[in-house]
Amino acid sequence: MEQKKLITYTAGHASFKKQLLLFWIFFIIGAFTIGGGYAMILMMKRYLVEQYHWIKDEEFYDMLAISQVTPGPIAVNMATFVGYTQGGVLGSVLATLGVSIPAVAVIIVIAVFFPGFKDNVWVQRFFAGVIVGVVAQIATIVLDLGKRQKWTIVSAVVCAAALGILFFAREVSPIWLILGGGLVGIAVEALKPHGTGSSTTKRAS
Amino acid sequence: MINFLALFGVFFKIGMFTFGGGQAMIPLLQKEVVANLAWIPMKEFLDFVAISEITPGPVAINMATFVGYKLRGLTGALVTSLGVILPSFIIILIIATVAHTFRTNRWVSAFLDGLQPVVLALLTYAVYSIAKGGIPAWWGYIASFGILLLILKYGKKLNLFLVLLAAGGLGLLIFR
């Protein structure tokens, strides 16, 4: 039975060119991430999965899930994760710097030159327009993830319960929901009849 | 004057204990730099939040740069930004070195499968809350739905950056 690998390792022999490309990709993503980390997911997937074929679909979503259970901004977590697996330690440093530099630079420019930035009516209108696009991009990811989810009664109930909690009890931190979902997953696995474990058990190895 | 080590320490701590993305950092940061340390007045802090939300890059890094710059200039901005990034970087680096074994372990795999529906719920909620907080008029929702259909129809052929710029341009025209 095949053993699914989370990450396709190329870190050991990544060229400097690829490491620079990692920097550039995450720099561009960082420069266009407006309205929080979720906004960059679709762009990242385009580059990493569809354009360069560095990682597979399910690896991408695994990384995204892990980036949400670990502390810190999701964009930074994803950059470090992808950077390391694709370009080693230098790759992770470059990708992380890439995603961070636009954020630092733009704030310094605003703080120094444009203190009235946010009160400008044109800025506000432009931003509202960008959000229209961002919402559409996140909705695209929702549909994609919904389509590839293995729907069972349990996963549907977990999803509905998490939605219910998010909408009606907003004080709950996402981390508890994510950990709760993970624990349900473990419970389901533990309750499976012995010997018929998931496809990832090493029964045939 | 606030020394760099204290500045670094506060942001390192916040980077370390903020789960669920950068937005989750804002209340924590407010408690620390506005209430406890009184480094930044509340009104100014809220201005920083408003700007961070409409500028490129993760909100957490925007906020760190703002506070650092305000308190200790350019060096301060770099110190705070590095402080908020480093915990993520270190933790993910450690995880990434063992990540290739995740899916070979039955329990880790079950854990990852179990949390996927929650990630889906979080993203769905993000669509709702970002739209509610940022789209000022009903025709914005129509436009958003139209863009969604475009992305679904043209897929890879559509340049997502141009889509955002075009959406911004549309915002200049339609939002009053």
Residue A107 sits at the vertex; the CA angle it makes with A106 and A112, to the nearest 5 degrees, is: 105
A144 touches chain B (CB under 8 A): no
A184-192 long-range Cβ contacts below 8 angstroms, 24+ apart: A184/A154, A184/A158, A184/B114, A185/B110, A185/B111, A185/B112, A185/B113, A185/B114, A185/B115, A186/B107, A186/B110, A186/B111, A186/B114, A188/A154, A188/B110, A188/B114, A189/B106, A189/B107, A189/B110
Structure letter (DSSP) for residue A49: I
Q: Two tokens at A60? A: 């991408």
- B75-85 mean pLDDT: 96
- For chain A (205 residues), the mean pLDDT of every run of 10, in chain order, is 49 80 95 82 92 91 89 92 94 96 94 83 88 91 90 94 89 83 93 61 37
What pLDDT is attached to residue A200? 45
Q: What is the pLDDT of residue A6?
A: 52
Chain A residue numbers touching B104 (CB-CB < 8 A): 3-5, 200, 202
N residues, chain B: 176
Which residues neighbour B123 within 8 Å (Cβ) at sequence distance 6 or greater? A38, A41, A138, A141, A142, A145
Chain A neighbors of B71, CB-CB under 8 A: none
Contact B100 A132 (CB under 8 A): no
Residue spans of the domains in chain A: they are 11-149, 150-198
